Chain A
Amino acid sequence: MEEEQSATDHEVFLRLFTRFEGNLRAYVASLLPTRDGVDDVMQESSVVLWRKFSDFDQTGVDSDFLGWAFMIARYEVLKYRRRRATDRLQFSEDVFELLASEAERTCTTQIERQLALHECLKELESKQLAIVKAVYEDGSRIKDVAEQIGRSPTGLYKSVARIRERLANCVRTRLNTSAEGLS
């Protein structure tokens, strides 16, 4: 009986975690500067979420899971920050708190953002798409990518910044359009 319950818990947990993993990753990424840090915290958070899943009230709506997961991920980010206290690019406490509160609101719409981004990527020129793939698919550092493709790091930083801005504008427009369509 206990095993049956555990198997059900597993399925419910995985359904919720899979559904909201993107939101959670976006939230953690908003609070940490490096992809390695985000991966570490996501791994720790997933383990803690599963361990504590029996404490989570499953009778509510699915979005309750996201609020609960944000809370646990925030705690894991704080633990990570303490471990890496001497790292560069660590936001001070007050800025961290401001970002954490606002990220919770923004990251609830991450699934829609992902869908919009997928469409926006199609609008990029082939050269720009190649840069995006080189930088984001393997998680390589921009400096290393620049070396591989024979460009200066500064030049590639600027290209990536332009692409980032273009994609952000595109995603923002698509999200606004779909929101207007619903109203």
Chain B
Amino acid sequence: MTIPHRDIDLINGYCNGSLTDDDFSELESRLRESHELRQLLIEYRSIESAMPSALASGTMEKAQASATKKSRVIRRLKIALLATAAGLLLMFGLYFLRPSSEPQLATLDSLTGSVRWTGTGGQVVDDVQSGRALTGGTIECLSVDSSANLEFPDGSTVTISGMSALTISDDGRKELHLREGNLSATVTSQPEGRPLRLLTPTAELEVLGTQFDVIAADTQTKITVNEGVVRVKRLTDGKFTDVKSAHSLVATIEAREPLVAIAVQEPIRVWKANLGQDKTAGDWLPIAHALRIEIGREIEAGELDADRAKEVYFKRLDKFEVDDGFLTAVPRRTGREEQPVIYLISLNIPQRQAGPILLSERSRLRVMGRSRIPQEATFSLAARNHDRTVAGRYGVKQRVEATFDIEIEVSELRELGDGTSAVGLEAFVLDCFANEPGLELAHVELLGPEE
């Protein structure tokens, strides 16, 4: 049989375990077409599977001889019986006698705020302390000012911050599941063929050694690679691409757009939120729905004649953009006794931006919205240094009531722990939360110093 060299290379790559995903796709396609190639693969794999026994000294001679000498067959069968019995015993024994202490996968190097640990045995530790050895399990940051820094034995570090939940495991390679939230990782060189795997609700990342950031929510994941290369697979359609250094990519659940990484651009100083798209916490009510509800209430209260409803609706709708609407705060547990639940709105600031958002001294945050009751709301930004190390969360409290339109100087934002300023940092998450329900945002914008 004549098989092209390229096909033979692909088969060898498969047997060697050295195929890239693209090569593997090519091999699959060739295997579909070529009976000869399928035969070659089966032949190679059959030979490889026979190699250990063929290499064992004299194995074949024994096998041949045993075929003709019944006494040896019986002896071999007895040995095989014992071996099988021992194997089964070992299998069950290993299951029942497996050590109760799980291997240590990482150390909780440092933490801030409220952090919860749930180990593989299901034990929940709410007051987890830094320095704790972590086995397989889930670590959760329970409040917007929480963060947890994990260090792995190979020197890799992973930090989660804000409302985040991360499950760690190791099945011969590190596997992380980021259910939601923000993660920054510095991954040292991983063994070839065993890259670190990070799963989010919409993406799967394979990492051999690099520095990258991830923001994950139910419907989208943003990956920004600062050093090295990360392979990202969009889970909805299985498409994948390599994200290089200084590039970022958004993998959405809908998979309507091409999966393309874009170069990270110079920092920008102004930003306007698209609340419906950028939200990671909050209930989104498009303006059309909000107006219908508003008009319905007015009719019910006798303030508006039902015959004029349509006319009023379109008149009011004209004043809004198609992307307008209201983002309503949703309850979140904090893990704190004094305030067990807060009502939170969270936005990924650079979700659609190619570049980071630089916080300048005279920049201002303009926030418009409404609150059903007068109350204090905290507006905070998660921001980090240019070198991508997480710097912290910077916030300020403002009184809000009825319909509000406020401007907050960036210089007013102070680190929630030590009171340092956010000026000069790059923002990546905006949170707005209050102790009572009924807080809604309609507009969020960062205005530059000159505006």
A interface list, Cβ under 8 A from B: 10-11, 14-15, 17-18, 22, 25-26, 28-30, 33-34, 38, 43, 46-47, 50, 86, 88-89, 91-92, 94-95, 98-99, 102-103, 106-107, 110-111, 113-115, 117-118, 121, 132-133, 136-137, 139, 141-143, 153, 157, 160-161, 164-165, 167-168, 171-172
**Interface residue B116 (Cβ < 8 Å from any Cβ of A):** no
How many chain B residues sit at the interface, stated as a range, is 35 or more
A-B contact pairs, 20 of them (CB 8 A): A14-B80, A17-B84, A22-B50, A22-B53, A30-B46, A47-B91, A106-B39, A106-B42, A106-B43, A106-B46, A115-B60, A118-B59, A136-B51, A137-B55, A141-B192, A142-B18, A160-B16, A161-B16, A168-B40, A171-B47
- Decide if B64 is an interface residue (CB 8 Å cutoff): yes
Establish whether residues B17 and A141, one from each chain, have CB atoms under 8 Å apart when the complex forms.
Answer: yes
Check: B49 CB closer than 8 A to any chain A CB. yes
A118 (CB) vs chain B CBs: closest residue: B60
Digitize B17-29: 1 where CB-to-A-CB distance is under 8 Å, 0 elsewhere: 1110100100010
CA distance A117 to B52 in the complex (A): 11
Q: Which of B5-44 contact A (CB under 8 A)?
A: 8-9, 12-19, 21, 24, 28, 31-32, 35, 38-44
Check: B290 CB closer than 8 A to any chain A CB: no
Q: Which residues of chain B have C-beta atoms less than 8 A from A86's C-beta?
A: 204
Bound form: Cα–Cα A113–B48 in Å: 11
CA distance A46 to B64 in the complex (A): 24
Interface membership of B193, Cβ < 8 A: yes
Task: Judge whether B19 and A89 touch: CB under 8 Å.
Answer: yes
The answer to whether the Cβ of B304 comes within 8 Å of any Cβ in the partner chain is no
**Measured between C-beta atoms, what is the minimum distance from A91 to chain B in Å?**
6
Report the separation of the CA atoms of residues A182 and B321 in the bound assembly, to the nearest whole angstrom.
84
Name the B residues within 8 Å of A26 (CB-CB). 45-46, 49-50
State in angstroms the CA–CA spacing of A100 and B34 once bound together.
15
Contact present for A14 and B81 (CB under 8 Å): yes
Known: A99-B42, A102-B39, A117-B54. A15 touches B48 (CB 8 A): no
Give every chain B residue within 8 A of A141 (Cβ-Cβ).
17, 192-193
A110 touches B46 (CB 8 A): yes
Q: Chain B: residues with CB nearer than 8 A to chain A?
A: 8-9, 12-19, 21, 24, 28, 31-32, 35, 38-55, 59-60, 63-64, 73, 76-77, 80-81, 84, 87-88, 91, 191-193, 204
Q: Are B51 and A29 in contact (CB under 8 A)?
A: no
A19 to B: closest C-beta gap in Å:
9
**Residues of A contacting B38 in the complex (Cβ-Cβ under 8 angstroms):** 98-99, 102
Complex alpha-carbon distance, A149 and B53, angstroms: 23
- B42 — which chain A residues lie within 8 A by C-beta? 30, 99, 102-103, 106-107
CA A28 to CA B49, docked complex, whole Å = 9
What 10 new A-B contacts, CB under 8 Å, besides A114-B63, A118-B59, A168-B47? A28-B49, A46-B87, A47-B91, A114-B54, A121-B54, A121-B55, A141-B17, A161-B9, A164-B12, A165-B12
B49 cross-chain contacts in A, Cβ below 8 A: 22, 25-26, 28-29, 38
Q: B47 near A115 (CB under 8 angstroms)?
A: no
Q: Which residue of B lies closest to A22 (CB)?
A: B50
What residue of chain B has the Cβ atom nearest to residue A143's Cβ?
B192
Cβ–Cβ contact B45 & A30, under 8 A: yes
Q: Which B residues are CB-close (under 8 A) to A107?
A: 42, 46
Q: Are A168 and B64 in contact (CB under 8 A)?
A: no
Residues of A within 8 A of B54 (CB): 114, 117-118, 121
Q: Are B46 and A98 in contact (CB under 8 A)?
A: no
Shortest beta-carbon distance from B428 to chain A in Å: 28
Looking at the assembled complex, report how far the CB atom of B19 sits from the nearest CB atom of chain A, in whole angstroms. 7
Chain A residue nearest in CB terms to B171: A84
Decide if B47 touches A167 in the complex (CB within 8 Å). yes
Determine which of A22, A29, A88, A99 lies in contact with B24 in the assembled complex, contact meaning CB atoms within 8 Å.
A88
- Which residue of B18, B40, B41, B87 is within 8 Å of A43 (Cβ)? B87
| Residue on B nearest A106 in the bound complex, by CB | B42
Interchain CA distance A52-B45 in the complex, whole Å: 28
Residue contact B55 to A10, C-beta cutoff 8 Å = no
Q: How far is the CA of A83 from the CA of B40 in the complex (A)?
A: 27
Expressed in whole angstroms, the minimum distance between the Cβ of A52 and any Cβ of chain B is: 15
Interface centre among A50, A95, A107, A171 (most CB of B within 10 A): A95
| A111 CB contacts on chain B under 8 angstroms | 63
A-chain residues with CB within 8 Å of residue B47 when the two chains form the complex? 113, 117, 164, 167-168, 171
